[in-house]
Structures are given as C-alpha cells and as structure tokens.
Structure 1
Amino acid sequence: MTTRKPAAHWADVLQLRPEVRTSDGSIGELQMSLHKAVYQTVDVPYRKVVYYGDITEPTPNLTGFFARVARRLGTDAEAPALFHLDQGMGGGKSHALVGLHHMATTPKEFFATDIGREVYAESTRGRTKVDLAEAVTVTLTADYFSPGSTSEVFGPAKNLFERFVWALVDGDMDHYRRHVAGGPNKSTLQQALTDAGRPVLILLDELMDYILQLSDVAHIDTMPSEKAFLNALMDACDDVPRVAFVVVMIRSELDERGYPPQAADFRDYVAARLIRNGQTVAVTEAQDFSAIIRRRLFDLPGAKLPFRDLAQRYGAGADTAWRKHVFEKLGVNRGLPGVEDRIGSSYPFHPELMRLVRDEWSQVSGFQRVRSTVAIFAQTALHWSSEHQAGRWAPPLIGVGDIPLTIALEQLLSSGLLLGNDRAIQGYRAVANTDVTSTDGRGGRAVDVDAALRRDGVAVGQPAPAVRMATALLCYSIVGRGQGRRGATKAELLHAIFGPAGQQVPYPAAEEVFNKLTGEAEGLGALEVTTPNNAPARFHLSIRQTLRMYFTAAMAMVPPAARGELVWEQAQALASKGVFDHLVPVDLPANEQQPLTKVFEGIDSASTRLVLLDPRRWTLLNGKDTTSRRDITALLGLGEQPLRVDNAASCVVVCVNTQRREIALKRAAEVLAWREVIAQLTDDTEDELQEARAKEHEVLTKLRRDVERAYQHYAYLVRAGDLHVEYRRFDEESRTALNGGHVWTALIEAGRATQPAGLAADYLAALISDFDRTLTPREIVQAFYKNPAFPLVTSTDEIRRVLHELVTNGWELVDADGDSLAVSSADQIAITSINQTLRRRSAEPEDTTREEATETVRGEEPGGAPPKPPSPPASDPTAYKRYRLRLANRSITSPDARDRAWQLLQELRKVIDPTNRADHQLLSLDLTLVTAEGDQGAIEAKGEALGAQITVENDDF
C-alpha cells in the first residue's frame, strides 16, 4: 500500500512580499497617491515602474483601459479621448492613474512589466506600432492645491486653467503667458495642445476635493469660469489627435461625503459632459479581488501551484456524512463540483472566503473593496505564514474562520462594513472579545469550548476548531445577507473547519464542536437562532441594536437599483387612467441600446392613451432631459428620428421630474431599509417589530406622496402653426400627472380635450369645413386620434352623437352614388363606414371650385390646387391632348407616400366630377393595388359598374 506524500502547503509555495513582512502585515500605504508618485513628496515604492509592475495584476478591465489610452496617445487611429473613473473608495482609481503616468513618462520600462506587455499587445492588435516617446503628462492632483492660491509645483497659476497650461508648457513662462492671455476657451486649449507637438496625457485626480473648496463663499464667484474651462478642455481633447484626458470623480451614490448645492450642481454638470463625450471606466470588478490580492501580497512563484492536488484532497476528505450534511446543502458553486477551478482563482484563500467578500461584503456601499480586503488579508496571511514556519498548525487554505481576530479585528470592523454605525462597531468588538477570543487569545467562550473539547478527548485534528467556527459565525453575522437572511446555517459553520485528506476532520467530531458552541450551557452568549419556514435554522451573533441602529446599517446596504424599482412599482400602482381609454406603462428596457421602435412597441392605437414612462430612464428638467425629450418627441412622431405612428394626436406622455425623482429615490431607500430591518427582527422582539412595521408604513405613505409629486410632467401634440410637442407640468401639490382625471382636466383647460358630452356640433362642423373635400364617418372618427387639430374625446359614442346632431341640422350623409341617407337616431350612424360621406345639405350642386382650408386628416398640406372654373367658349376648334401618367410599383407604406397618392386620386376625382362640365372624352385606367385581404374596400364593385375587367391574385409580397 502506497502512502500519499503530504500536500504542499501554501506557505511553502508562496512567499510573502518583503514589505508585508517588514511592516507586520500593514504593507504601508494601501492607497496609492498620484501626487506622491509624480511629485515625489514622499519616497513611495510604487514611484518605480518595476515595483508597480510587480504588484499590479493585469486584470481585463485595467489592461483594456490602459490599451485604449495607449492607442489614443500612440497612434493616429480613431479612439476615445476622454475617460471617467467613477468607482467608490478602494476601486483602484489612483492605482490606475499611477500606471498611466508610468506608461506615458517611461513607456519602455512600463511595457517591459507583466501588465505592460499585455497592454502593448492589446493596444497594437491590428496595428504595427504604438509610439509614446516624448509624451507630455499633465498631472493635476486637485486634492493638493487650492483655488486662488499659488504653489511651488504650478508657479504663478491660481486656477485649473492656469495650472493646466503651466504643466503643459513645463514652466515656460513665455508660452504660459501667451496661452493664458487667450483665456480658457476651446480655441486656446486646442492651440496649446497642438503646439505641444507631442502626445499629451492629462490626469485630473480627486476633482471634487477642489470643487468643495470652490463652493466656499470666498471662491464661489470663480466657479463658472472653472466649469467653463473643464467643458472646453473636454471638447478640445476630443478634437486634437493624440490627446487623452482621464478624470477621477466618484459617483454621487458611492461618495459618502456630503456636498453643498453648488458643489453638487458642479458635479452634475461635469458628469453629464463626461457621459456625453467620454467613456466611464471601471478598473476593477468583484471577480478580480482574488488575483489582485494574491499579486499584492505574494511574490509570483516560478513553479505551478498545487490546485489540482488540493482539490483532490478536499474530495477525498469528504466522506458520506460530510457530503450529505454539509456540501450538498451549501448551494450552487459552493460544494465539491468545480472546486478545483474555484481554488485556482482564490489560492491561497478559501473559495468560500473570497465568495463572502466578493458577493456579500462588497455589496455594502461603505466597504472599501480591494483596499479593505488587502488590509484584512495581509494581516491574516502573515499570521498563518508565521505559524507554519514556526512548525505550528496552519490551515491548508485560509477560510472564513481563519481571520485572526487577535490582530485583524480592527481592520475588519473599520473596513466600512459598519460605516456610520459606531454602536454596532462597539457591539461587535465586544462580542468578538467575549464570545470568540480576547486580544491575547486567552479568553473568550470559543477559547473555553476548545479547552473543553481537549479535556473531553474530542479529536478534530486542529488546535482551535471552536475559535475558527465562531470566527466564521462573526464574519457571516456582521452584515445582513441576501433575501433578508442573517448569520449562517449549520452546514456553513461545519464547512468552516472541514479539512482535506491528510488533515481530515471526522464529521462526528465537527458536529460535537458545533453542539458545544451553540449549546445553552457552554455556548456563545450572543448567539441567536431563527428557524424560517421550510428552511434550515440560522445562527447569528446579535449585538441587540436599537431600531435606529438597525435602520442605519440597513440603509448602507440598499442597492441603488432597488430604489428605482420601488419608485416605478409605486408609480404604476398609483397611476389611474381616468377618462383615457388606456393606461400604458413603459418599462426601462433591459438593454439600453434597444431601438425605440422596440421600447415603444404596441403604444400606437386608435384610442386615447396615457403613457407612463419609467423614472429609471426618463426624466424632465434640471438640465438632464435631452435624451428623454428626444425619446418623447420620437414617440409622438416628430424630431430627427420620428417613429412611424398613426395616432400620435391621441397620445399623452407622463414623465417624472428629475429633482423630485431624487427625493422619491431617497424615500424609497428608507422604505427598503425598514423592510430589511423587519426581515432581521425576530419574534422575541415583538414590540420592536410592531414599531418597525409602523415606521415602514409611515415612510411608504410618504413615498407614495413623493412619487405623486414627482410625476409633474405631461406632453402631447398640438398644432399652433407648426406641429410640435407641448410640455406642461403641474405645479400644484394637489394635482399629479399620474391621475388621468387631472391630466384630462388640464387638457380641457388648454383647449386640447372635451368634457364628457361636451363636444359641440358647431365645433365639429367648423373643423371638418376646413377640409377641401367631404369626409367619410370613418375619416372623421380617425381625425380625433390622428389630427392634433381635433380635441381628445371621451369615447366614439361622443362623435356618433355629434354626427347625428349635424345630420339633423343642415348636414346629410350620402352614399357612394350621392343619394342622401335617412338617419333617425345616432345608433344608425355607421362611424366605420368608408362608403358614406358627410356634407352640407344644399339644393344647389356642390361648388367644388371654392378655395377651402387645405389641412388633411393627417394634418398635412394637400398637394393639389382647386380646379379652375370652365373656360369661356371660344370660336376656335377644341384642341385635345392625351395625358398619360405611369406609376410603377410605388411603395405607399409610409404615411407621407400614402398621402401623396391620395392627393393624386383626389385631383383625378375633382377633374372628372360629373358636376364639373369639363370636356373630357376618354379614360384609360390601369390600377394595381397590393393590400391586405379585406382592405380593398369597394374597388371591385365600383370597377364592375364602370365596365372594368378585374383580376384578383394571391401575392407573396
């Protein structure tokens, strides 16, 4: 029988970087500083390209970003010039800026590093060369200078424009004065960039630190000029080849700092132009954490890492009991299948620890992502590496329960997981010291449980299984988990102390650890157990927070997307169609690139519609509504890219106000936070539960009021001279565009709609008298939905009633032969008829030569002119001419083409009108109409009456 040789331990395979060991795991400054690297005010190691390359993992996002900048600077190919880094704290923005500085200033050394080689390969893909030689780097570290003040770095410059010019000309006073004299406009900046004669990389870091100073009363007057400069610079960089501009400005929802209104407005102004002109870049993603941390903490090994061997040992160490009671209950991508790949991406850390950090901790808005993770894991890796080298036990992979609370507790609590909740931080600090382990490792209930296990002879194969399990429970308990859950399941806690083959943990022994740790006598004092319906029991460490503390912690976890979803949900619930025929909600499309024809599909119909737009995409006013106005205009059939719609006149679009939407979003966050609190509270806190439910009801009521107030705007088509979209809004708090009754009343006040039973026969008579021909009932009905000159009516019965009033008072309905029809009631009027027409009743033949208003049913000008009166008789013989018009396969699918065809046929109708005594002799007509079956009308019957030969064939058009 062969004995399997011991597995290689990670501490033997991976060597900690020297700076991790010499600094006791603190590894110096976790946040890189662009200012320190460029101006070398402090001797930081990352100012050296080689060191920077050693600790930088070439992740896809970072490599792609660097490559795009390199292509812009080093080639004449079309490439984006403006980039915006907007991730929150710890997102790697400063790290990226330092790398860009190295790439531009020392390209040869940079492209020799691991990340440099990948950047060069990607940037030159499809090209022969990227030339960054002699590039100019303009570095504006806005958190290191103040408005109106000079500094040694920027000479006489006192504002952003002057500092930019000083850095661009490298302190050349003559060039500086010449460019500054031109002023911070686009022309001056283009000339200055062109005069450089070299690639120019502009790095603007921590812009909001500078803007915060600008908003002070002493400098507020200079804010407009600074704003104008940035706007001009962003435009100029796009126009001048080989210029790249990178701006760091954290998104407002990720920036925990508050700003005065002037600074917030400046941020919105710049952000809008960054979105319009540039690319927003995320240099790190959650899946990059493992690789980044491994690169930052360890020297890269020359040998292959033992992923496969370790995965096989994990599988061999899991007997039937472990598989049944633990691994099969962990969930998807957490059990034994696929464990080799997961170990490969997280080594030397356990996949479960990296999953917790990546999928749960990083969702908390205050958690500083990579920076926090490095701080915690540096202490942890150094601790276990030292233990292993001293000959003591160390975990085969660093798992959830292996964060040494004796030295890393403060890094864990200060990582931002409990940001703004000082009482919670104090509470978990106390729980960790009393229930898990004291700072010196001698006290704590879990420490006592381990001692009891040793006394009882429970063989687990590791020195402190209870401390490891309790540490894992603390890590699982410190923030709420998905779906309102708290803490961990029994399977998760047992998994925290599982060992692979060679370090196996008997399942009965692991269960004994769990039983003692959760028992009432010796177990954890802060332990609380909840048993959800149809789900395994959950265990968590409680610090008995007040409702306010629960609420504060929950607010930090509310995802931004969930706020918008709740506001939209409430808007739809509150909306009512009133007298409109239909209420049509339009959701935010899943794909922002989806064409508007698909987004607004199904809205156009011959009915009155109140169209409700999703506030997550469409808003009006506050300077952020260009896209929304473009979409609304297109929906109503106008603008540069109008949609093909037939009934835009009967469509009213409802939209949210930008500023009031923000109020509603904040209120939605409160509702979601209270719901999270309610989900966390247990049955033994009935009083708190009732109070939390009352709070949730209170803020939900306020949210509904805020949503109603936010929907101020409505838009519709009007014809006042030109056809255009009219934008209106409710300024009274008592009216909302979500209420169809309120909107209809406003349309009545604007003369765009009628009250129920309020349409007057004289009004309709005046409308149809403006046409140069008689109309069918169907055309009259359609006009109320297609033509903005006609008002919106409450129903087609209203139109039928008024038509009946007309035919009983001076008007008549006639059939296709011109014979008057007897109509005794409104119900007898066939409003869908195309064979009847409505005309004024007259004893004399209809005068078709009268020049009338020329608006058509579609609201367009007719192309034909009225026929001329008959010429006076002449003594000369009549001269006859043959007029032949050929029109082959002309498409009439568009409204415009169909209208022109209609005008042609109308002109023919007027020319051969029997009442017109013109001297016509012969008519030849060859007409082919390809149409849907049933849409041909009475063409066949009318043709046969004239003696035409008619053929009908199937067509595969």
Structure 2
Amino acid sequence: MSLYKAVYQTVDVPYRRVGYYGDITEPTPNLVGFFARVARRLGTGAEAPALFHLDQGMGGGKSHALVGLYHMASSPEEFFATELGQRVYDEAARGAAAMDLARATVVTLTADYFSPGSTNEVFGPATNLFERFVWALVGGDMDRYRRYIDAGPNKGTIQQALTESGRPVLILLDELMDYVLALSDVAHIDTMPGEKAFLNALMDACDDVPRVAFVVVMIRSELDERGYPPQALDFRDYVAARLVRNGQTVAVTEAQDFSAIIRRRLFELPEHDLPVHDLTRRYAVAAEQAWREKVFDKLGPNRGLSGFEERTAASYPFHPELMRLVREEWAQVSGFQRVRSTVAIFARTALHWVTEHKAGRWSPLLIGIGDIPLTVALEQLLSSGLLLSNDRAIQGYRAVASTDITSTDGRTGRAVVVDASLRQDGVTVAQPAPAVRMATALLCYSIVGRPQGRRGATKAELLAAIFGPAGAAVPYPAADEVFNKLTGDEGLGALEVTTPTNAPARWHLSIKQTLRMYFTAAMALVPPEARGKLVWHEAQRLASKGTFDDLVLVDKPGDDRAPLDKVFEGVDSAENRLVLLDPRRWTLLNGKDSASRDDITALLGLGDHPLRVDNAASCVVACVNTQRRDIALKRAAEVLAWREVITQLTDDTEDELRDARSKHDDAAAKLRRDVERAYQHYAYLVRAGELYVEFKRFDDDSRTALNGGHVWTALLEAGRATLPSALSAGYLAALLDGFDRALTPREVVQSFYKNSSFPLVTSTDEIRRVLFELLITGWELIDADGNPLSITSPGQISINSISQTVRRRVEQPGRIPKPRVQTVDTLVPSGMVAAGGGASVVRDDEYRADPEPSTYTPPRPSEPAVYKRYRIELTNRSITSADTRDQAWQLLKELAKVIDSANRADHQLLSLDLTLVTAEGDQGQLEAKAHVLGAQVRVEDDDF
C-alpha cells in the first residue's frame, strides 16, 4: 500500500475506499490496540500518548497502518462501521465518556514524494517540512500560512497553530529518511539544522496540545541496509532519541498474525463454513500405518495428525506446516518482515492454484510448503528478505532452483526429469509433479537456518510435503521412491546430506560450490557423442577373442549412408572370428532394431541385400543390448564428468580431489561392469533344413558377448562348435557323406569355415587329427590317379592339397562284409577304464541296418534333395513297466538302424538331448560312448 496514493489519489487504488480497506484488513490485537490509542488521543480528553513510532511488523504493515489511520480520522463514520472500526471504537471508548473524531484534520507528509527546497502542487509555496506542515494544517489558507511562517518554526508557533485549528489533528510523517537523504546533499545541507529544530519542536508541541497525535515512520538503523552519509545518520539518531523519550514504538502485527493477515488480504470472506472437517478427516483416513510411523510420528509436537483439524481451520487454504514455517522460522529473519514481496509470495501462489483448478488441472487441497510455484513466485521468494539482500546468495539459490528443481517454463530442471522418469517407471503418486513439489519444499527448508543450528529437512518432512488425503492418497512406497530418486545419484545436484549424532539425517540444497555441484555442472556439459565414444573404447578394451582365431572390431562409419560392403570391409576371412559391433550404431531389442538385424544378416550373407562373403559360417557377431547400452551411456557420462571435475580442482583442495578421484574410479569400475552386461547378444549362421541367422543372448550377467570364451561355450551348448580333441571321425564322416562327390583336403578344411553344417573347430590341427582318424576307420586318401596314399600320422596329411581326395575306402569286388564288432577300448577316451576292467567285446549287429544292398541313390544335381526335420519329444515317460521299456527300446533300436554308417541315407544333422534317471551302476557304457561322439555328459544327483 501507499499512503500517498490513498490520500492524494494520483492512482485509482482500491484501498482508497474505506469499505474495501476494512474488508482486507485483519483486526489483529496489535493493530486494534494501536488504532485505539490514536483514536482515544484524537477523540477524547483522556490521557493517551501523542507520539508514535511505527516499527516493523510481519508482511510490512507500516503503510497499511498509516492508510487505516488516515481513513479513521478523515472518514470516521465509514471507518467505525467496518469490523476493524468497531473493534477499534470499542477499545478506544472503554473508560471514556465519549469519543468524537468528527471534523478531524489529517496532516499527511509523505516525505518520499517531495524534495527539500522545491515546491509542488500539493503544498503550494512550501519548500521545507515546517512550511509543508503549516500549509496542510491551514488547508491552503494563505493569510494564516503567512502568519505562522513569519513566526518561525518554534514550539510556540506550532502550539498556536495546532490550538487555533480547533479540531483534532492527526499528523502522519512517512518515510522520513528518504527526505533526510536528499537533505544531506551539499545543495541542502545548510538547511538540515532548521529541519531538525522543527521536528524537535513539533514532537514537543504535540505532547502539550490536547487531541493531537503524531505518527512517524522512520526505519531503525539496525534494520536499514541503505548507505547514508554521516549527516543523515546524525539526523536519524537525533530524531530517534526524541521518539524514544517522548513517544511509543509500535509494531502493528506479529508473526502469529501472518496466517490471518494473508487470508484476509487474498481471499473473500466465505459465506459458508469452510470444508475443514471433511478435509482433515480424509487426511486422517489416508494416513495408513507406514505414514504414521515413518513420517507423522517423527515430525514433532503440533506437526503431526494430532490437532491437525484445529491448525487447518486457522490456516486454510494453506497447509498448517507452511504457516508454521513462516511464523516460527522465516519470521525470525528480520529482513523477511519488512518487504512487500512477503505477501506477494502467497498472492502469486494462491492465484496460480486457483487458475489451475479453474482450468481443470490438478491442484492441492491444502497449499503446502512444496506448492509455492517457483515458475511464478521464485523471485518473490528470493527477494522476500530471507536472504537479507545478499546478492550472491540470491543468485546462488536462483541458479539452484532453475537447475535442480524447475525452469521458469516448467520444462527443464533435475526434479522435472525425475518426475518424467517416475512416470516412465509407472510410479503412481496421484499428482503430476511429486519430485518438483518435494524439491520445492527442500528449497524452502534450506533457504534459512533452522532452529538449534540445523539445516535443511529430514526425510519425514520431505515425504510429508507430498502427502495427500483420501481420494488423492499417495502410497508410502511410491512417496519413498520419489525421495530415493530425488536424493540419489541422478537427483538434485546441489544436494548435501548431514547425519547428526543421535538424530535423523538431514538434506539441504547448498549454494556452496560443492563436489556434487562441480559434478552436476560437468554432467550438463558432457556431449552425447563423447559418452558413446567412451563406451565403445571400454568395449574394445574389455573384449577378448578367447577360443576364436581373431577378434574383429567394426567402428561406426563416419557417414551413416556408407555402403555396407565398405563398413564391413575386411571382416570376411578363413578364420573363426568374433566380430564386435560399435554400440553407437548397432543395438538389439529396442523394438526398433530392424536396421541392426538387417546389417548383421547381410554381413552373414543372407537377407534382402546380402554381402558377398565366403566364410560366413565361421563368423559370430557380438552386439549390444539397447536398454543396457543406455545404462552404460549414463555411466560413461559420470566418468567423463568426474574427469572434468578433477581437472577443475586445484592442489589446495586435496580432500575434494581425493574424493573426486575415488568417485571417478568407482564410476569407471561400474562402467566396465555395465559395458560387459550390455553386450548380451551374439548371432551366427545355422542350417536346419534352410539357412538362417540365429540371434541369441546371454541372460546370465556373469557371461558377456565381449568374451570369446563365453561365446564359444554357448556355441558348444548349441552344438555349433567343438572342444579341442572332441570332434569325432564319425561326425565328420556323416558331414562328408552329405556331399555328392568326394572332397579334397582343402575343401574339407574350407567347409569348416564356409559351411554352417560344419561346427566351429579350435584349429586346423583339429581338422588334420579327425581326418587321420577317418583314414584308419574305413576312409582313404587318394592321389590324382586314384591310388590310395599310405598315411601313418596326422602330420603327413596335406590339408591344403587340391590334387588329393578323401573318400570311403573301396572294398574289393565280391568281398563279404565281416560281422562288425567294437571293443570297449575303442569307445573309451584315453585315461578311462571300462567297467569290469577288461577289453570285453560288445556285439551290436542287431542294432545295425539290414545287410541288404542299399537302395539309396544320391540325387542328381538337376534334382536337389528335399530335406525335412524330424523332432521327437518324449518328456519324463516312466519306463518301469516292461511294455513301456520295450516300446522305448524299439524306438532307440530303430534310430540306431536309421543312422548306421552302412546305411548310405542322406542324413545331415543330429541333435540329441537324452536324460536317463537310473540306479547308479546301471547306466552301462552311455558315458563312454557319448564321449567318443563328442557329446557333453553331466551326471547329477537325483532325489527321484
């Protein structure tokens, strides 16, 4: 409010009307008592003080009180008809015979609206305080004005002028120090003693003349932050001493009045009862056991659920905790009491939520600490005097609020990001921005020191900031999730936590350039391409070829439009290769991985646009998982941010430097783990009837596609690779029988790298070994003339020969096949002894195919064979009865005949998964024969 605007009506302000002023003014005890003393002085002959010095109150209040005094003296009938006026009248008239303020004169000296030595239209020819006082007192009567001016500014003249007015006189002197500051200028400094003398005489005269009251507004020196020259300071001390001696210092409001004042100034008086009872009942219903035990019971007296209805009735529509914070903590900061922006905070807050409610959007049922909208009220909060006009602190908290909580448009800020993450994770909190509300509450708790030297807020206080009533209740686990995300590594950057002894931990927002703030600022500057580059660098560093012959790294091309044959140039070779793809371009399982799948398929020679490759069968591709890559990218950003922080710290911050290095090392270790886990996927060629790409992934975090050993083991389990010395001659014979002609040794070797029907082998020596085993078990190696070669060791096989040929040994015409026998010794690997100890003979003729000549004729090239896949599944079939055991025996006997090597049928692949639960010792030679075939055998205890 402005006394000048209300009195001289230079602007059509609503409070110039007495009725409006009465509607918006809360009749606080201090204000009523002050007005009553002034009214008793003016309207009665009773003893009452004449001189008053207005002191600071909550929300300012000085100008508000001066406007009210003006209305009381100039329009007493209207004023005393208001609620405030009635209380003032009752208080003033108590013990007095009668009270009459009719025809009172108000001398209004708004010292911040005129200058020394200058005239204006309000005060006619007057140029100093004495002349302006006289002009206002005589109402512009020039003759009386001249007479009193000629008599001089002494006590006698002033007493005479006040007495001769014949009516009550109220003198209001506002913002005296603004006038004194101008008076101390060199152009007017000579007039300062005369002004001092006048004010001294006026204060004395008012005390001596009945029905005269003088109210001075002059801020005390300890509360004034403006700089004044020595002459002005001396003037203030001079006047202040006489105010203390002759008058009363009055504060028109107190901290406990703030809630009532705010409600009275901002809201219309309700015509019906407020919905407090129903609302507080809903709050009580929503407070389930977890909320009571972990939050409300820990808040302290007069802050929990006990007495909540009474406190809400006194603060509605504001939450009692917000009013408690203002009344008991903010009000202790003297600067908070003397600025108009104190009221503006709550005016903007109320208007914001009323507007949101009218627009059909979410709004709180009680406006709490976290509901001050920083998008529209941040500047009012920072300039409210809480920070004592400390520009550095104001700038610091402005940056913290906009960076950590929300920007002015509400689109950015770490708390805004946390809210988006919570929504993505499906956390239901029954409100659109719980993280922003909680962070706003933390700012309000952090901006000033709290009782007993504490800082910030407890977890219970922050959780309570987003608590909602029944119908909009917040589950405690969801609120706890909001807290954890907000205070976690990806939460508020300016957050600090302290853990007092025997007290709960406290969180606060700091404007000190802490290590966390360095990190937050550095994180914001990490470019996205740097994160991807670091992840790829770590992937290359962690990758190992293991059993593979080579590890091939494929970088993201500089031009995304580069043709694939250029991107994958050099990948194809006659080696077993683990191909590692750059995560910046290739990822799998994000719902949009078709481009990566197409590239991998093309690399393996298939798809709509296959590359021309010769050795796709020996190529295994390792690729990153999209979701886990994103985790690794975030971790890479942390590592890069800590590296930047370390460069910013100096040697004089040794402790912080040590902590930064420790955090960097921790983030780097987590990055390595995350990169390993991110590489879940691998792909390779499979032939099962038709040729296709098999995409597989590791679900066990202990295995990664970056490790060639892990990938090779997975290929072993899938029957796509072999262990050293595990490839059997029988398996190779079956593969070679699938060709319509005999192959050269070189073609055999190449098949292991070109043909996906062949398994991956550990080395060419393994191929040489198994070829030699073929030659001693019914095969032969012939030269270009068809003559058999005598080979006595694997080393004698020329595996790169294209003039020799590998074929089954040709029997002499008319030769009768001998019964086939195999000894256990030929079936048991080296180091194993057959059951029974000897080399007993096991005849298996009855399991062989019929001895009749084979009727199978290999298909001619013009008639390609049609292959079908036969899969038989038999799960946990009991074979305890003789019938079922015989049925199982007949099935296995038929399988033995079908795959007999004497049967020249065109078989290609065999996958066998056999589980036999039997008494120990009844397994026969299953293990030995399985090892000969190259199968993996696991023997496990069973509680069958």
Q: TM-score, normalised by structure 1?
A: 0.53
Residue 528, structure 1, aligned to residue 493, structure 2: no
Q: CA, structure 1 residues 687+100, in 2 after alignment: closer, same or farther (shift >3 Å)?
A: farther
CA distance in 2, matches of 1:342, 1:89: 20
Residue 268, structure 1, aligned to residue 237, structure 2: yes
CA distance in 2, matches of 1:410, 1:388: 23
**Residue of structure 1 equivalent to 2:287:** 318
2:410 pairs, out of 441, 447, 465, with 441
CA distance in 1, matches of 2:54, 2:35: 12
**Residue of structure 2 equivalent to 1:914:** none
Residue 248, structure 1, aligned to residue 217, structure 2: yes
**What displacement does 1:426 show?**
2.5
**Residue of structure 1 equivalent to 2:343:** 374
Residue 290, structure 1, aligned to residue 259, structure 2: yes
**Residue of structure 2 equivalent to 1:121:** 90
Listed one character per residue, the Cα deviations across residues 193-229 of structure 1 (whole Å, up to 9, x for unaligned) are: 1100000100011111111122222222222221111
**Residue of structure 1 equivalent to 2:142:** 173
The two structures, once aligned, show a CA RMSD in angstroms of: 2.3
**Residue of structure 1 equivalent to 2:46:** 77
CA distance in 2, matches of 1:414, 1:300: 29
Uncovered stretches (5+) of structure 2, i.e. residues with no partner: 516-648, 657-944
2:4 pairs, out of 29, 32, 35, with 35
Preserved CA contact (<8 Å) 2:438 2:465: yes
SS of residue in 2 equivalent to 1:367: helix
2:259 counterpart letter in structure 1: S
SS of residue in 2 equivalent to 1:393: coil
Listed one character per residue, the Cα deviations across residues 746-792 of structure 1 (whole Å, up to 9, x for unaligned) are: xxxxxxxxxxxxxxxxxxxxxxxxxxxxxxxxxxxxxxxxxxxxxxx
Preserved CA contact (<8 Å) 1:201 1:243: yes
CA distance in 2, matches of 1:211, 1:689: 53
Q: CA, structure 1 residues 307+535, in 2 after alignment: closer, same or farther (shift >3 Å)?
A: same
**Residue of structure 1 equivalent to 2:763:** none
Residue 499, structure 1, aligned to residue 468, structure 2: yes
Q: CA, structure 1 residues 546+103, in 2 after alignment: closer, same or farther (shift >3 Å)?
A: farther
Q: CA, structure 1 residues 108+47, in 2 after alignment: closer, same or farther (shift >3 Å)?
A: same
Q: CA, structure 1 residues 131+408, in 2 after alignment: closer, same or farther (shift >3 Å)?
A: same
Q: CA, structure 1 residues 509+688, in 2 after alignment: closer, same or farther (shift >3 Å)?
A: same
**Residue of structure 1 equivalent to 2:773:** none
**What displacement does 1:500 show?**
2.1
CA distance in 2, matches of 1:690, 1:154: 68
Preserved CA contact (<8 Å) 1:289 1:370: no
Listed one character per residue, the Cα deviations across residues 627-654 of structure 1 (whole Å, up to 9, x for unaligned) are: xxxxxxxxxxxxxxxxxxxxxxxxxxxx
**What displacement does 1:455 show?**
2.4
1:531 counterpart letter in structure 2: T
1:541 pairs, out of 478, 484, 509, with 509
**What displacement does 1:399 show?**
0.5
Q: CA, structure 1 residues 685+209, in 2 after alignment: closer, same or farther (shift >3 Å)?
A: farther
1:183 counterpart letter in structure 2: G
**What displacement does 1:425 show?**
2.4
**What displacement does 1:449 show?**
1.7
The equivalences for 1:45-60 within 5 A come to 45-60=14-29
SS of residue in 2 equivalent to 1:458: coil
Preserved CA contact (<8 Å) 1:71 1:124: yes
**Residue of structure 2 equivalent to 1:217:** 186
**What displacement does 1:40 show?**
1.5
Preserved CA contact (<8 Å) 1:317 1:500: yes
The equivalences for 1:518-667 within 5 A come to 518-520=487-489, 522-545=490-513
Listed one character per residue, the Cα deviations across residues 397-440 of structure 1 (whole Å, up to 9, x for unaligned) are: 00010111122222222223234433332322222222212222
CA distance in 2, matches of 1:317, 1:686: 54
**What displacement does 1:128 show?**
4.6
CA distance in 1, matches of 2:505, 2:218: 44
**Residue of structure 1 equivalent to 2:421:** 452
Preserved CA contact (<8 Å) 1:88 1:250: no
**Residue of structure 1 equivalent to 2:163:** 194
**Residue of structure 1 equivalent to 2:846:** none
Q: CA, structure 1 residues 461+258, in 2 after alignment: closer, same or farther (shift >3 Å)?
A: same
CA distance in 2, matches of 1:59, 1:307: 23
Residue 346, structure 1, aligned to residue 324, structure 2: no
Structure showing greater radius of gyration is 2
CA distance in 1, matches of 2:339, 2:256: 11
**What displacement does 1:546 show?**
9.7
**What displacement does 1:132 show?**
0.6
CA distance in 1, matches of 2:227, 2:411: 43
CA distance in 1, matches of 2:136, 2:148: 12
Q: CA, structure 1 residues 688+344, in 2 after alignment: closer, same or farther (shift >3 Å)?
A: farther
Residue 61, structure 1, aligned to residue 33, structure 2: no
The equivalences for 1:692-703 within 5 A come to none
**What displacement does 1:308 show?**
2.7
SS of residue in 2 equivalent to 1:140: strand
Matched residues, percent identical? 82
Residue 327, structure 1, aligned to residue 291, structure 2: no
Q: CA, structure 1 residues 685+534, in 2 after alignment: closer, same or farther (shift >3 Å)?
A: farther
CA distance in 2, matches of 1:500, 1:111: 42
The equivalences for 1:831-846 within 5 A come to none
Preserved CA contact (<8 Å) 2:59 2:342: no
**What displacement does 1:370 show?**
6.5
**Residue of structure 1 equivalent to 2:804:** none
Preserved CA contact (<8 Å) 1:138 1:202: yes
Listed one character per residue, the Cα deviations across residues 485-536 of structure 1 (whole Å, up to 9, x for unaligned) are: 221110110010111233222212111111111111x322221111122211
**Residue of structure 2 equivalent to 1:105:** 74
**What displacement does 1:543 show?**
2.3
The equivalences for 1:799-814 within 5 A come to none
**Residue of structure 1 equivalent to 2:860:** none
**Residue of structure 2 equivalent to 1:785:** none
Q: CA, structure 1 residues 686+49, in 2 after alignment: closer, same or farther (shift >3 Å)?
A: farther
**What displacement does 1:88 show?**
7.0
2:194 counterpart letter in structure 1: S
CA distance in 1, matches of 2:496, 2:650: 12
Q: Which structure has more RCO (C-alpha within 8 Å, separation ≥ 6)?
A: 1
2:175 counterpart letter in structure 1: E
CA distance in 2, matches of 1:78, 1:687: 69
Preserved CA contact (<8 Å) 2:30 2:251: yes
CA distance in 1, matches of 2:379, 2:362: 24
1:502 counterpart letter in structure 2: G
The equivalences for 1:679-694 within 5 A come to none
Preserved CA contact (<8 Å) 1:393 1:463: yes
**What displacement does 1:392 show?**
2.0
The equivalences for 1:890-909 within 5 A come to none
Residue 421, structure 1, aligned to residue 390, structure 2: yes
Q: CA, structure 1 residues 517+209, in 2 after alignment: closer, same or farther (shift >3 Å)?
A: same
Preserved CA contact (<8 Å) 1:88 1:251: no
SS of residue in 2 equivalent to 1:383: helix
**What displacement does 1:137 show?**
0.6
**Residue of structure 1 equivalent to 2:325:** 356
1:472 counterpart letter in structure 2: A
1:539 counterpart letter in structure 2: W
1:504 counterpart letter in structure 2: A
Larger mean CA deviation between 34-43 and 414-423 belongs to 414-423
1:495 counterpart letter in structure 2: A
Q: CA, structure 1 residues 480+87, in 2 after alignment: closer, same or farther (shift >3 Å)?
A: same
**What displacement does 1:147 show?**
1.6
SS of residue in 1 equivalent to 2:213: strand
**Residue of structure 1 equivalent to 2:131:** 162
**What displacement does 1:127 show?**
3.1
Residue 277, structure 1, aligned to residue 246, structure 2: yes
Listed one character per residue, the Cα deviations across residues 782-824 of structure 1 (whole Å, up to 9, x for unaligned) are: xxxxxxxxxxxxxxxxxxxxxxxxxxxxxxxxxxxxxxxxxxx
